[in-house]
Amino acid sequence: MPYRNPEIETMDPKDLRQMQSEKLVKLVKYVYDRSPFYKKRFDEFGVKPEDIKSIDDLGKLPFTMKQDLRDTYPNGMFCVKNTDVVRYHASSGTTGKPTVVGYTQNDLDLWAESLARGMTAVGLSEDDIIQVSYGYGLFTGGLGVHYGSEKIGATTLPASSGNTERQITLMKDLDVTAICCTPSYFSYLIEAAEQMDCSIKNKTKLRVGIFGAEPWSESLRKRIEERSGIKAYDVFGTSELSGPLFIECEMQEGMHIWSDMFLFEILDPETNEPVPDGTVGELVVTTLMKEALPLVRYRVGDLASLETAVCKCGRTHPRLMRLKGRSDDMVIVRGINVFPGQVEYVLVKFPEVSPHFMIVIDREGELDNMAVQVELADMASDKLDDYYKLKSGIQHELKSILNLHADVEFVAPGTIPRSEGKAKRVIDKRQY
Ligand code: ADP
Ligand code: K
Ligand code: ZN
Instruction: Please write the tens of the pLDDT for every residue from 213-224.
Output: 999 999 999 999
Scored b (16 or more CB within 10 A) or e, 107-140 reads bbebbbbbbbbbbbbbbbeeebbbbbbbbbebbb
Question: Where do the DSSP E strands lie in 168-324?
Answer: 178-181, 208-212, 231-238, 243-247, 255-256, 262-267, 281-287, 298-304, 306-307, 319-320
Angle, helices 13-34 vs 36-45, to 10°: value is 100
Which residue's CA is the closest to the ligand 1 atom numbered 13? 238
List the domain boundaries for the chain: 1-328, 336-428
Scored b (16 or more CB within 10 A) or e, 5-23 reads: eeebbbbeeeebbebbbeb
CB 337 near ligand 1, within 6 Å = yes
Answer yes or no: is the C-beta of 142 below 6 A from any ligand 1 atom: no
Q: Is the shortest distance between the CB of 254 and ligand 1 below 6 Å?
A: no
Cα 84 to ligand 1 centroid, rounded to whole Å = 27
The reply to whether ligand 1 has any atom less than 6 angstroms from the CB of 300 is yes
Centre of ligand 1 from the C-alpha of residue 388, in Å: 34
The reply to whether 1-328 and 336-428 are identical in fold is no
Q: What pLDDT score was predicted for residue 30?
A: 98
243 within ligand 1 shell (Cβ under 6 A): yes
> How far is the C-alpha of 429 from the C-alpha of 432, rounded, in Å?
10
Does the Cβ of 294 fall within 6 Å of ligand 1?
Answer: no
Q: Which atom of ligand 1 is nearest to the CA of 215?
A: 25
Task: Quote helix, strand, coil % in the chain, to nearest 5.
Answer: 35, 25, 40
Distance, in Å, from the CA atom of 117 to the CA atom of 356, rounded to the nearest integer, reads 47
Query: H helices of 174-302, where?
Result: 183-195, 200-203, 218-228
Beta strands in 65-147 (DSSP E): 87-91, 99-103, 129-132
Cis omega before residue 6 (within 30°)?
Answer: no
CA distance 314 to 316: 6
pLDDT score, position 334: 92
Which are the contacts of 206, defined by CB distance < 8 A and separation ≥ 6?
Answer: 171, 176, 177, 178, 179, 200, 228, 229, 230
Alpha carbon of 405 to ligand 2 centroid (Å): 16
Q: What is the distance in A from the centroid of ligand 3 to the CA of 231? A: 15
Q: Which residues contact 53 (CB under 8 A, 6 or more apart)?
A: 25
Centroid of ligand 1 to alpha carbon of 212 (angstroms): 7
Say if residue 369 is exposed, middle or buried (CB neighbours under 10 Å; 0-12, 13-18, 19+). Answer: middle
Q: Note down pLDDT in tens along the chain; length 432 residues.
A: 689 999 999 999 999 999 999 999 999 999 999 999 999 999 999 999 999 999 999 999 999 999 999 999 999 999 999 999 999 999 865 565 679 999 999 999 999 999 999 999 999 999 999 999 999 999 999 999 999 999 999 999 999 999 999 999 999 999 999 999 999 999 999 999 999 999 999 999 999 999 999 999 999 999 999 999 999 999 999 999 999 999 999 999 999 999 999 999 999 999 999 999 999 999 999 999 999 999 999 999 999 999 999 999 999 999 999 999 899 889 999 999 998 988 998 998 999 998 789 999 999 888 899 999 999 887 777 788 888 999 999 999 999 989 899 999 999 888 998 877 777 899 999 976
Strand 155-157, strand 331-333: pairing: unpaired
Nearest to residue 66, comparing CAs of 246, 303, 212, 240? 240
**Residue 252 region, left (φ>0) first, then alpha (ψ -120 to 50), else beta?**
left
Ligand 1, atom 20, lies closest to the CA of: 213
For the Cβ of 361 lying below 6 angstroms from any atom of ligand 1, the answer is no
Q: How far is the CA of 249 from the centre of ligand 2 (A)?
A: 21
Could you identify the atom of ligand 1 that is nearest to the CA of residue 335?
2
- CA distances from residue 121 to 4, 118, 218 in whole angstroms, order as listed: 8, 5, 20
Environment of ion ligand 2 (residues, CB < 5 A)? 213, 337
DSSP state of 339: -
CATH of 336-428, one of 3.40.120.10, 3.30.300.30, 3.40.50.2300, 3.30.930.10: 3.30.300.30
The CA R_g of the chain, rounded to the nearest whole Å, is: 23
> Cα(168) to centroid of ligand 2, in Å?
24
Is 248 near ligand 1, meaning CB less than 6 Å away? Answer: no
Q: Are 112 and 143 in contact (CB under 8 A)?
A: no
Query: Which residues, 6+ apart, have CB-to-CB distance to 354 below 8 Å?
Result: 374, 375, 376, 377, 413
Superfamily of domain 1-328: ANL, N-terminal domain (3.40.50.12780)
Question: Atom of ligand 1 at shortest distance to CA of 212?
Answer: 23
Cα(335) to ligand 2 centroid in Å equals 5
Contact 101, 89 (CB under 8 A): yes
304 lines ligand 1 (CB under 6 A): no
Task: Give kind and range of the element (H or E) at residue 144.
Answer: helix 140-151
How many Å lie between the centroid of ligand 1 and the Cα of residue 288?
Answer: 20
